Amino acid sequence: MPIQYRTMTELREKTASVLRAAQRADVVITGRGEPKVMLQRISKDEVEGLQLLESPKVRRLLNRALRDVKAGRTVPFEKLLESTRRL
């Protein structure tokens, strides 16, 4: 579906309508003829993913994992599966 354009006034006066439109397609909100923000659909899983990425602890773990990969400290997937089967 093509992008829809709505004004700040429409957003303020017809919020429910603009939000319904954003559930069907991306909606660009304009102010004085200039794009200001874009509303996009988002799933619960996407929100959870974003929240995880904002977590300092998760970021530290991901950075550590990336350093391990760059340093060659990895285990082949097949070996990992074998070790979990033995548990």
∠ at Cα 20 (7, 29), nearest 5°? 20
Least confident of 24-33, 54-63, 78-87: 78-87
| Banded pLDDT at 1 (limits 50, 70, 90) | confident
| Same-domain check for residues 21 and 50 | no
Do residues 64 and 35 share a domain? no
- Domain extent, residue 60, equals 44-85
User: Do 54 and 76 sit in the same domain of this protein?
Assistant: yes
Within this chain, do residues 31 and 12 fall inside the same structural domain, yes or no?
yes
Distances (CA, A) of 61 to 10, 26, 48: 43, 33, 17
3-state secondary structure of 5: strand
Q: How confident is the model at residue 80 (pLDDT cuts 50, 70, 90)?
A: confident
Say if residue 35 is in the same domain as residue 58.
no
Q: Answer yes or no: do 33 and 60 share one domain.
A: no
